[in-house]
Chain A
Amino acid sequence: MLKDYLERDLYNLIIKNFSFNDITEIRMRVNENLIIVVRNKKFYLKDDNGEFIKCNTNMIENFIKKASENSIYAYNDNIINGYITLPKGIRVGLCGNIVTDGDKIVTIKEFQALNIRIPHNVKNCSLPAYEYILGEDVRNTLIISPPGAGKTTFIRDFIYQLYQHNVPKNILVADERNEICSVVNGEPALNVGGFADIYTNCSKEFAFKNGIRSMRPDVIVTDEIDLDKDLPCIIEAINSGVSVIATIHAKDLNQLKRKANFDKIIDEKYFSRYIVLSNDEGPGTLKNIYDEKLNCIYCR
């Protein structure tokens, strides 16, 4: 897959030393060694002479040029949010010089670093929590973990498990960055089963509002919520009788408690389950499950 985007020599060197199925991240920083992350372990890539591969501006710019299919303008809405999504849910995080026009971010230029994150289907990774999420209905659930600990993989698998267990729910996926399902030409490249209706590359606000009106969802699944920005549409969905499964960045519940608006969530009991994932035994390791009163009902 990355063959189309990486320079040929670099790609050959990577596949010579690593299996693409194991790589979770490739990191490039200008004038620094290229890093390959395999199951949370970092490796410096070396050439045939044992020299470290150093990244340069050209390497990064060429990658972005290819990733945007020589059409940065067509990807700019994503770029200003700091990423480009490639087919198969590969997400390229971008850092560089942020160009602004007043308060508005116009684009990013002079790219300094990029992080290519390669998703992997971890089959049945959501199964240990499945019974906790699914009661008579799908419970409103917040998945909590630090970046790279398998939140997206978890919710993708959960959507698939509902299909696999023949729980005939209309599942609306608000896939803001096209990471959950990686839809290409209307077809999800990552397996989410047959019950999912997917909005990609749109705001959660749009997906929630329009989805509830037009797709009659039983469950809305979304990734990486921002409690400040996204809480109103989540509350609206829950109050409309739609279950919500969402993910959020935090190391644990204590960290989450420090976020703005979290008190409101607890007081109003918007979510019935809080699932904490960690990287302890690889991405997607189930650590704790809490109920709406924050009592631990599953502790590892």
Chain B
Amino acid sequence: MKWFLIIVLITVIMIIARAISEQYKEKYDFYYNLKDFLNQFKINLSFSQSKIKEFLDKINSKKQFKIFIDEYKNFLSYGKFDLSKIKILEDDEKTELTKIINNIGKYNAKNEMLQVDAFMVSIDSKLEKAKQDKQKLCPLILKLSLLFAIALSILLI
């Protein structure tokens, strides 16, 4: 029975640790997709110049980035942009994203391109930070959690 409880305890701790570390991965994926989205938008500006709604319909997205795309579509239809469902982002990151969304589509293609380039500088730095966090913190959280689980198990024994 004791051994069974220990196994359960370790499993629960590791699941929690994985969920926490997953957030860093998701954040990295989010910024990676956002950068890709802006790159595709630049290509759109250079060639087909599809309207933003048509452009969004062509974007394949999943997980957190899908929430972002869905919210963007809502914003275009109803003028409301609510990023509260994206849990992985800090408030200042949400504010910056809202600013980006509010400004896309306001200018001619040339100025739009310059604006997207400026956004990408900021997104690049966030992507780099998310990448570092993912590389450093994910294994660290998993290792520390395992150590914590083992220590707790030893105490219980």
Contact = CB atoms under 8 A, between A and B. Distances in A.
Interface of A: 65, 68-74, 76, 79, 106-107, 109
B52 A69 contact: yes
B50 A72 contact: no
Interface string B37-65: 00000000100011111000000000000
A224 B53 CA distance: 32
15 contacts: A69-B52, A69-B105, A70-B52, A70-B105, A71-B51, A71-B53, A71-B105, A73-B45, A73-B107, A73-B109, A73-B112, A74-B51, A79-B108, A106-B110, A107-B108
A74 B49 contact: yes
Contacts of B104: 70
Contacts, number: 45
Contacts of A106: 108, 110
A137 B5 CA distance: 97
Given A70-B52, A74-B49, A107 B105 contact: no
Contacts of B49: 71, 73-74
B85 interface: no
Interface in B13-49: 45, 49
B76 interface: yes
B106 interface: yes
Interface residues of B, number: 16
B98 interface: no
Contacts of A76: 108-109
Contacts of B50: 71, 74
B111 interface: yes
A275 B2 CA distance: 101
Contacts of A79: 108
B78 to A, nearest CB: 11
Nearest to B55: A71
Nearest to A106: B108
Given A70-B53, A71-B49, A107-B108, 5 more contacts: A69-B51, A70-B104, A70-B105, A73-B107, A74-B52
A109 B106 CA distance: 10
Contacts of B110: 106
Nearest to B104: A70
Given A70-B76, A73-B45, A65 B106 contact: yes
A254 to B, nearest CB: 41
Contacts of B112: 72-73
Nearest to A71: B51
Contact of A107 (B45, B51, B53, B107): B107
Contacts of B105: 65, 68-73
Nearest to B53: A69
